[in-house]
Chain A
Amino acid sequence: MRRGRTIVFATALELLCEPLFMLVLQAALLLSAVAPAMHYHQFGEASRMARDAGLSAILLCGATIAFTGPIRTFRREIETGTAQVALAHSVSRTSFFLHKAIGCAMAYGVFALTVALVSLTVVNGAEIGGRIAEKTGDIARLWGPSFTLALAAALLPIVAAAVLNRFARFRFVLTANLLSASIAILSALYRFDAALSIRLMPALALAALPSLALLAASAAFAVRFKANVASTLSAAVAIMLLPALGNYCLSDALAQGGMIPWTYLACATAAALPAIAALLLLGVHFINGRDLQ
């Protein structure tokens, strides 16, 4: 148990320390915060814009994290030899692979949670601000405080992390990522409309499921093939998953003020879990059958 936990946390920490993770997270936060704001004055569907931008950010940037994270960490472990040192301890290859995959999923979870909470804040702000604007005509209320909070989640951590790195030797990238997540959690408390947020949950989950399948595929290919081959094969899986990646577009229901049925989410989960399990088993087979030089 302790061995597994050690591998999970080290892997998550490794990915959270990666500049690429920080750049993708900041891009996703800016996309969710800024993209809808650009259209507010033109289309008058502020909350829909905010929702679609948030879901797109989770989907596209999340798929990038799910795609690159496992390939980078597994290839780095195998090519630099840290995997060999870890496997010289009383850790089985199966356990090593599965716990590293869980570590990757944990890093993805930090990303998805941060972006989802910021998106919810922006959508909440737009929805509530929209109602106020209808009554008062004050259109600035649409994107004022919630937009500022979302922007703060993206930009403030960079400045704070730089200061902490300069004066207290904190790790810059890790600090920035954790501060983004913390601000996202705090921002969710602002004008929190529980009913609206619950309405969006199935859509967020549907955006995450194909990314987790992609993560499992990338992990499996990364332990067997070199980075370029693993990337190509993972890209092929991503293309196959594309129809599933558009799952959240079932959000006609969302657009009409309803929600994606929970039964649909259950069916999608039931379809995704065996696929994820099969890909992880493939990875276990690959790592157990190979020489580690």
Chain B
Amino acid sequence: MNGEPVVSLKGVRKTFRDFWLRPTVNAVDGLDLAVARGEVFGLLGPNGSGKSTTIKMILGLLAPTAGEVSMFGLSPRSLAARARLGYLPELSYLHPFLTARETLMYYAGLCGLPHAESARRTAQLLQMVKLDEVANRPVGGFSKGMARRVALASALIGKPELLVLDEPTSGLDPVSTKEVKTLVRALANGGMTVLMTSHLLADAEDVCDRIMILNRGRSVAEGKVSELGESLEDFFLAKVGNADEFVLADFLA
């Protein structure tokens, strides 16, 4: 890896606790990870494997129980580090009372952009995600796919150096999914570093340069997609275990 990694985790552990501070679950357990500048890095794993928890520790939303997390060599809570970040959450968290235009202006404001620049980028991004015709409607009435596009545009409004995408194609139809994948590749080709999570192997295969597979909070494999063999699905199942079939005989009898 050339240069300092954009994102670095060393021996990170996250244990959630209940009200009485008793440990309830080890969501992440001794994770080491480094994302190089300009690459598209995928965190893969089944549901509950610790992908979103890892992302939230990188964003500074969750404090690690042990270990060290850094972004651009700084603490994730550092404002200077977060000024260079764009984040698309797993669900499109939007203020339903704001219109699409106001939503983008709001996030542009949080990035500290001047009003004129915010308006210019908002118009550009609305056109890019094909929502310019409904720009003045409250996003509370949008379909899941439209809300996803608004959220994606919000993540890009500050022209981030690091884009963190949590399940970016969640809720999108096949056409929109392809558009998002093409967009991610184009952004990466333009020099942006992308860290994404997914449990859809096709997403990782099409977009990622390098992946890490998580299972029960631990890394079980890491490497370039091209080096993992012919079928990512076979590789994935070998690492996290094959699916068990539901026992339906008693229920159906």
Contact = CB atoms under 8 A, between A and B. Distances in A.
Query: Is chain B found bound to chain A in the same assembly?
Result: yes
A90 interface: yes
Interface string A264-293: 000000000000000000000000000111
Given A13-B97, A89-B158, A81 B91 contact: yes
A293 B107 contact: no
A267 B207 CA distance: 65
B223 interface: no
Q: Contact size class for B? A: 20 to 34
B48 to A, nearest CB: 13
Nearest to B80: A90
Interface in A1-59: 2-3, 5-7, 10, 13-14, 17
Contact of A87 (B60, B94, B106, B113): B60
A14 B93 CA distance: 15
Q: Contact size class for A? A: 20 to 34
Contacts of A87: 59-61
A14 B111 contact: no
A92 B110 CA distance: 11
A248 to B, nearest CB: 33
B172 interface: no
A14 B80 contact: no
Interface in A57-88: 80-82, 84-88
Residue of B91, B109, B158 contacting most chain A CB atoms (<10 Å): B109
B136 interface: yes
Contact of B62 (A5, A13, A291): A291
A187 B37 CA distance: 62
Nearest to B109: A6
B112 A171 contact: no
Interface of A: 2-3, 5-7, 10, 13-14, 17, 80-82, 84-92, 169, 171, 174, 291-293
Interface of B: 56, 59-63, 79-80, 82-83, 85, 87, 89, 91, 93-95, 97-98, 106-107, 109-114, 136-138, 154, 158, 164
Given A2-B113, A81-B93, 7 more contacts: A2-B109, A2-B112, A14-B95, A80-B93, A86-B110, A88-B59, A88-B61
